[in-house]
């Protein structure tokens, strides 16, 4: 925390990943671009925001606590910062919680920006009108070798944001700079520097100003130009226009579930047809057998 807090200073509030590694590393510790770094520990013994994996049922309760921290507690601890200049950075599970609960529930209160790192989870109720403002900055950052579960949830989260952005009616060139995506690093989960989780997170947070405040690429990490979110291709799939999964895109989890359900139903239907045919065949065979036996009996009587 700076010795003196002035009215032009804002916050960069970081929600760590599952297990709390980024909380203890605190990659946003220093004052950067007049943003005071704040890292919040998840309110449970497991140090996991909202839940586990792609199931985050406690996310609404957890982000409510974060909202109260930012609006009620921190102003007492650091009086004087600008409450209208609050950014959020999510790491892995923290990103899932920001996208599935914080933006939908309290995005109307915090409209500065969200840096979504190696995570993303669509809200079951969608993103309501006003949760993303005409000046809100959002950037999704992934790697090519992301966790399999996140390769499903991140594209769905991007589509949800695209749907909300589409309702704003922004000029295309403004939206292209304001809502962006990059997935060029070849590292594993959160290893944006191609080396490791912690160093990768630190490398991205070090360039928060360039990416989030200037909509510029992160040197040595992202592509030369950040991709407009509406044109994002996450893990080889085309998210494209709001709410659409274009040809060649990654199938959504819902789509895959429906496909499996349809296949199962078709298989069950086919099994019934086969069973019916077999039953009919047996009846027919038994009928012929009985008919033949009757003829034999009649012949013997004669």
Query: Closest Cα partner for 59 from 3, 122, 148?
Result: 122
Q: Is the pLDDT of residue 284 over 90?
A: no
Mean pLDDT of 82-103: 98
Q: Is the pLDDT of residue 299 over 50?
A: no
Q: Is the pLDDT of residue 24 over 60?
A: yes
Whole-angstrom distance, CA of residue 56 vs CA of residue 212 = 26
Query: Closest Cα partner for 104 from 86, 121, 119?
Result: 121
pLDDT (0 to 100) of residue 251: 34
Query: Closest Cα partner for 158 from 92, 232, 108, 104?
Result: 232
Each residue of 108-149: pLDDT tens digit? Answer: 999 999 999 999 999 999 999 999 999 999 999 999 999 999
pLDDT (0 to 100) of residue 3: 84
For 72-141, the DSSP string reads IIHHHHSTT--TT-EEEEEETHHHHHIIIIIHHHHTTT--SEEEEES-----TT---TTSS-TT-EEEEE
Each residue of 171-220: pLDDT tens digit? Answer: 999 999 999 999 999 999 999 999 999 999 999 999 999 999 999 999 99
Looking at the chain, how many residues does it have? 302
Whole-angstrom distance, CA of residue 17 vs CA of residue 181 = 20
Whole-angstrom distance, CA of residue 182 vs CA of residue 186 = 11
Cβ partners under 8 Å of residue 32, min gap 6: 12, 208, 209
Q: What single DSSP character describes residue 225? A: S
78-87, 240-249, 261-270: which range is least confident on average?
Answer: 240-249
Let me know how many helices (H) and strands (E) the chain has, helices first: 11, 7
What the block records as the tokens of 182 is 């990059």
80-84, 167-171, 269-273: which range is least confident on average?
Answer: 269-273
pLDDT (0 to 100) of residue 239: 57
pLDDT band at 237 (very low <50, low <70, confident <90, very high): confident
Name the average pLDDT for the chain.
Answer: 85
Mean pLDDT of 215-233: 95
Mean pLDDT of 229-236: 91
How far is CA 120 from each of CA 34, 106, 185, rounded to the nearest angstrom?
Answer: 27, 16, 17
Whole-angstrom distance, CA of residue 190 vs CA of residue 211 = 16
Whole-angstrom distance, CA of residue 218 vs CA of residue 17 = 21
Q: Can you tell me whether residue 284 is helix, strand or coil?
A: helix
Q: Is the pLDDT of residue 253 over 70?
A: no
pLDDT (0 to 100) of residue 236: 81
């Amino acid at each position: 925390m700076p010795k003196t807090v002035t009215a032009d200073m804002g916050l960069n509030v970081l929600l760590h990943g599952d297990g709390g590694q980024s909380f203890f590393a605190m990659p946003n510790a220093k004052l950067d671009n007049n943003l005071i770094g704040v890292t919040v520990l998840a309110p449970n013994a497991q140090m996991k925001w909202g839940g586990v994996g792609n199931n985050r049922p406690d996310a609404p309760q957890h982000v409510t606590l974060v909202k109260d921290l930012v609006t009620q507690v921190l102003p007492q601890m650091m009086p004087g910062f600008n409450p209208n200049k609050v950014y959020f950075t999510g790491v892995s599970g923290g990103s899932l919680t920001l996208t599935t609960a914080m933006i939908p529930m309290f995005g109307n209160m915090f409209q500065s920006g969200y840096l979504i790192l190696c995570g993303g989870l669509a809200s079951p109720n969608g993103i309501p009108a006003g949760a993303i403002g005409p000046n809100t900055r959002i950037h999704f950052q992934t790697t090519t070798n992301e966790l399999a579960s996140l390769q499903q949830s991140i594209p769905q989260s991007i589509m949800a944001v695209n749907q909300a952005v589409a309702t704003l009616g922004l000029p295309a060139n403004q939206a292209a700079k304001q809502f962006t995506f990059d997935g060029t690093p070849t590292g594993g989960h959160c290893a944006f520097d191609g080396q490791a989780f912690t160093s990768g997170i630190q490398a991205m947070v070090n360039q928060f100003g360039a990416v989030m405040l200037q909509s510029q690429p992160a040197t040595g990490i992202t592509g030369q130009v950040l991709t407009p979110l509406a044109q994002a291709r996450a893990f080889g799939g085309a998210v494209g226009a709001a709410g659409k999964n274009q040809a060649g895109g990654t199938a959504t989890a819902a789509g895959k579930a429906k496909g499996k359900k349809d296949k199962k139903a078709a298989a069950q239907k086919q099994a019934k047809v086969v069973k019916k045919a077999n039953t009919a065949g047996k009846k027919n065979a038994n009928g012929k057998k009985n008919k033949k036996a009757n003829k034999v009996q009649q012949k013997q009587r004669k």
